[in-house]
Chain A
Amino acid sequence: MDFFGQYYAYLFFRLIVIIGSLLGILIGFLIQSYKATIYIYIGSIFLAGLLCSPNWPIWNKHPLNFKKKN
């Protein structure tokens, strides 16, 4: 990953997990099932992990330009 890619990767991980946990709490509370909360929360973790952990090309859109050796 490059600098910007890493920044966005961390941002997206936190965003997806926070949305997943809030969604899980909301739906779990509405249907009164903690199982639903946990499934949605863990699902969001896997989604975020899959998207943000490996070195996908989208995280390499701003590559570092090192000076060429003369």
Chain B
Amino acid sequence: MHTFFQRIHQFLGFLLSTTIFIIIVNSISGLYLDDSEPEISIQLNKIHEFKNNARTDRAVIGFDLHADFTSTFNWNVKQIFVFVTAEYQPEGRGKSEVVIWDHIIRSKEEAVLDLVDQKNKYVLVDYENDLRGQIINLTVNWDVMPLNGFLRLKKHGKTQFTLPEKI
């Protein structure tokens, strides 16, 4: 007969298969459940600072962000990484994109964002050009990070503004 330990060993082997099955079901369902468009609106509130520190122009802005991510949460979602990007295209170069603010939403309860005049976390600066007179596009993006399975990166909600010509 098998001993107690041999039995446990057999059981553990079987448990691996069932665990993998649950992980696969959870992963694939996450792909098909994720088709809701959350309500998002973003706009510039005001430009707080626009200075030059002897190298390049740096901007500190405040934006209004209203977003409701409650419909994005399902049994496959671990957290949602929300971030706002500033996109611009200097003369003679291709498009450049900088993340100016990010936030992690860990549950459905904290999924509603209602920010007024939120300052950017990361400085809005280009590595070589000046940003005077640049047209900046702000977009709200989010990365749905699952409990098991596939990461999904999406975006929605755009606004545009122009930085001042003179410092």
- Do chains A and B make direct contact within the complex (CB under 8 angstroms)? yes
Q: A residues within 8 Å of B by Cβ?
A: 1-3, 6, 9-10, 13-14, 17-18, 21, 24-25, 28-29, 32-34, 37, 41, 45, 48-49, 52-55
Residue numbers in B under 8 Å from A34 (CB-CB)? 26, 75-76, 147
Q: B residues within 8 Å of A by Cβ?
A: 1-2, 4, 7-8, 10-11, 14-15, 18-19, 21-22, 25-26, 29, 73-76, 147
Cβ-neighbour of B11 out of A24, A32, A53 (below 8 A): A53
Say what secondary structure dominates the interface of chain A. Answer: helix
Contact B11 A49 (CB under 8 A): yes
Contact A18 B25 (CB under 8 A): no
Given known A6-B1, A18-B18, A25-B22, contact A37–B8 (CB-CB < 8 A): no
Say what secondary structure dominates the interface of chain B. Answer: helix
Contact B22 A9 (CB under 8 A): no
Please name the residue on chain A nearest to B11 by beta carbon. Answer: A13
How many Cβ-Cβ contacts under 8 Å join chain A to chain B? Answer: 52
Can you sample 26 A-B contacts with CB below 8 Å?
A1-B1, A2-B1, A3-B1, A6-B1, A6-B2, A10-B10, A18-B18, A21-B22, A24-B22, A25-B26, A29-B29, A32-B74, A32-B75, A33-B75, A34-B76, A34-B147, A37-B75, A41-B19, A41-B22, A45-B15, A48-B11, A49-B8, A49-B11, A52-B11, A53-B7, A55-B4
Residue numbers in B under 8 Å from A1 (CB-CB)? 1-2
Tell me, in angstroms, the Cα distance from A2 to B7 when the chains sit together. Answer: 13
CB distance from A45 to the nearest CB of B (A): 7
